[in-house]
């Protein structure tokens, strides 16, 4: 045991073995807490990813089904952006 002394009195005796056991318990608790957090974060990430991929897949299917309209729309947006850039530099 280690005693911590102050002027005139002994504060508390510390059992080193007990302290090490408590530190091991805290480490194990934190390890479990980290593992639980990791599982929850991964589950949330998968759910979010699936939620985002569904509309993207739907949009891709729509573009494939309406290829001509998609190309015309892309060209129109490109021309509009080009016009805006050219108009701004003048």
Please name the helix (run of DSSP H) or strand (run of DSSP E) that holds residue 8, with its range, or none: none
In this prediction, residue 57 carries a pLDDT of 82
What are the pLDDT tens digits along the chain (90 aa)?
Answer: 555 555 544 545 667 778 888 899 999 999 999 999 999 988 888 888 877 778 878 888 887 888 888 889 999 999 999 999 988 876
Total-model pTM:
0.41
CB 19 within 8 Å of CB 33:
no
């Amino acid at each position: 045991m280690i005693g911590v002394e102050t002027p005139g009195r002994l504060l508390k005796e510390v059992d080193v073995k007990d302290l090490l056991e408590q530190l091991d318990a805290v480490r194990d608790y934190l390890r479990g807490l980290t593992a639980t957090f990791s599982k929850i974060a991964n589950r949330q990430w998968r759910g979010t990813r699936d939620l985002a991929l569904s509309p993207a897949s739907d949009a891709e299917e729509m573009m494939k089904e309406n290829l001509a309209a998609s190309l015309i729309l892309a060209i129109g947006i490109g021309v509009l952006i080009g016009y805006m850039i050219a108009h701004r530099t003048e």
